[in-house]
Amino acid sequence: MRAILRGTFLIALALAVPVLPLLFLGLSFEEQVETWLKVDVSPTLRFALIAAVLASDLLLPIPSSAVSTYGGGILGTWPATASSWLGMTLGACLGFGLARAFGRQYAARWSDRGDLDRMELVTHRFGPLALFLTRPLPILAEACVLFLGASRLSWRRFLIPVMAANFAVSLAYAACGEYFKGRNALPAAVVASAVLPLGLALATRHWLTGLNRTSVDREINES
């Protein structure tokens, strides 16, 4: 009985995910998103715009998860995955390359110093795998890229995990967009895909802040 109840709860939670953010943002916000989704442009232009917007993610506060979900609903899973992957990878390479060339001072211009410190803790424990772990998390994903660039990680060790992670994230959100488009819930899904990852990122940031910095510094010095 407990297993049945747990399964029922998980199914109900999954079905409620697109709706929950609207309880906080209001239906007017959903209507604005719906109007944006109905803008009449060609699929080729949408593909290019999605890639271009995601490539600028480092410089602008772009909710990449929402853009990828939107792409899935408008273009379909695989074209949206390709467009999202291309844009996210270009943006990550740009940020990494600039931070690698200009160092920590440049990274601090585009990311909070506290987030860079948090990424120092994460990358010390996980190495380049931290790129894969933080890719779905807004704010922290960019901070991880910038920190590893400023740390002069090699391009080979950077590209493999970031390209794999970008593909996984792009595919997941694009498939989500196509799924909810078929159920006439794309605007709600776009909103949810923007709000929920941000909430997870803020919770992760809070958790990382609570780590004992002294013990981690000792661990770094001893390694």
**Which among 111, 155, 99, 102 is positioned nearest to 137, based on CA atoms?**
111
Q: What is the mean pLDDT of residues 203-223?
A: 66
Q: Which amino acid is at 38?
A: K
In percent, the amount of the chain with pLDDT more than 90 equals: 39
Contact present, 59 and 146 (Cβ < 8 Å): no
**Which among 101, 88, 77, 171 is positioned nearest to 131, based on CA atoms?**
88
Query: What is residue 72's predicted lDDT score, i.e. its pLDDT?
Result: 94
pTM recorded for the entire structure: 0.78
Q: State which H helix or E strand residue 134 sits in.
A: helix 129-134
pLDDT per residue as tens digits for the range 150-172: 999 999 999 999 999 999 999 99
pLDDT per residue as tens digits for the range 22-52: 444 444 444 555 555 566 678 888 899 889 9
